[in-house]
Amino acid sequence: MAFLNMELQTWAFTFGILGNIISLMVFLSPLPTFYRVYRKKSTEGFQSTPYVVTLFSCMLWIFYALLKSGAELLVTINGVGCVIETVYLGMYLVYAPKAARVLTAKMLLGLNVGVFGLVALVTMVLSNGGLRVHVLGWICVSVALSVFAAPLSIMRQVIRTKSVEFMPISLSFFLVLSAVIWFAYGALKKDVFVAAPNVLGFVFGVAQMALYMAYRNKKPAAAAVGMVEEVKLPAEHASKEVAAAVAHEGSRASCGAEVHPIDIDTLTLPVVEVHDPQIVVVIDVDVEPATTCTAAAAAGADGVASVVDGPGVPTAPEQPAMIKPDMAIAVEA
């Protein structure tokens, strides 16, 4: 009997070591996310709630393991988890917007300081002996169940969008493996508080993997996509697009050979300093309106100015400009 008990303890220790290794990999899984936060100096809308809750869970499990004898492996992995989650939250507080920082600070003070302090006070003052361990154990189970149930929102998003972008298979696989190993550890140690929540963790992990296999080749539903990506054109391409649009607008306007009348009373001519004196002559002409687009195009962009080579000697364009009645012509003299 003693030999069998020793064998069970050996297997429990082995599963505990494996559980530490796999749980460490689960704790380190958000590293790419926080490397992205560090590189871009922005949290980009990531939420801090999972990390606050995970830190709270690690603190409770450390407290439970310190009260219960023979649970040193729970202390080691949850102690490492507290350090990792604290680093994550520190980076979040550095790079998050002010509103997100304030919310995260409130959650840390309320949950990790206030609620944990209340739990410690209740278990240490109102309970004693084995009852203290049982009370704290059931509190740990309830928190662990809430942590395991957190992926339900992601599973619902996968079903709605038919996309597994936000549910990587690697994380689901390690969660299932971790649940199996810690269940075995709890069963060998005859610790129901460690074994029980990992049953639900195993069920949710298998469900996530099944969803991944079902939707991995599905195209995301277009109607379910809630975000519209902003497409930015390169500067050179954008300038070409604008130039083409302006040219098209100009050709469309000039094709009608329209020249708008100038109101002499309200016209304000710019004052330009020149070396040679110039005289501006305003002439009222009575010419038939243009009827063809070709004549208007040949007249130039202005459609109203004649070019002169010398004083008083105008040089006519290849084709005469078609000008509407009552138009003003500026002639250099």
Dist CA 184 CA 176 (whole Å):
12
The confidence score (pLDDT) of residue 7 equals 79
**Residue for token pair 């549910």:** 167
Dist CA 331 CA 233 (whole Å):
44
Long-range contacts of 218-221 (CB under 8 A, 24+ apart): 218/162, 218/163, 219/162, 220/161, 220/162, 220/163, 220/165, 221/160, 221/161, 221/162, 221/163
The confidence score (pLDDT) of residue 194 equals 93
The confidence score (pLDDT) of residue 3 equals 66
Enter the DSSP assignment of 222.
G
Q: Kindly list the domain boundaries of the chain, sorted by start residue.
A: 1-217
User: How many CB atoms within 10 Å of residue 331?
Assistant: 16
Task: Compute and round to an integer the Cα radius of gyration of the chain.
Answer: 39
DSSP 156-175: HHHHHHT--TTS-HHHHHHH
DSSP 88-124: HHHHHHHHS-HHHHHHHHHHIIIIIIIIHHHHHHIII
The confidence score (pLDDT) of residue 68 equals 87
In the chain, beta strands by DSSP E: 307-310, 313-315
Reported as a single tens digit per residue, the pLDDT across 245-259 is 444 444 444 444 444
Dist CA 53 CA 111 (whole Å):
8
Distance of CA 6 to the CA centre of its chain: 52
Contact residues for 50 (Cβ-Cβ < 8 A; gap 6+): 150
The confidence score (pLDDT) of residue 237 equals 47
The confidence score (pLDDT) of residue 17 equals 94
The confidence score (pLDDT) of residue 220 equals 58
Contact residues for 201 (Cβ-Cβ < 8 A; gap 6+): 144, 148, 175, 176, 178, 179
The confidence score (pLDDT) of residue 322 equals 52
**Cβ-contact 206, 180 below 8 angstroms:** no
Computed over every residue of the chain, the mean pLDDT equals 73
Q: Which residues of the chain have pLDDT under 70?
A: 1-3, 127, 150-151, 166, 219-333
The confidence score (pLDDT) of residue 167 equals 72
Torsion, Cα of 279, 285, 290, 296 (10° steps): -10
**Residue for token pair 């559980």:** 19
Report yes or no on whether pTM surpasses 0.95: no
The confidence score (pLDDT) of residue 168 equals 72
Reported as a single tens digit per residue, the pLDDT across 194-239 is 999 999 889 888 888 888 888 887 765 544 444 434 334 444 444 4
**Cβ-contact 284, 258 below 8 angstroms:** no
Enter the DSSP assignment of 180.
H
CA angle 77, 79, 80 (to 5 degrees): 65
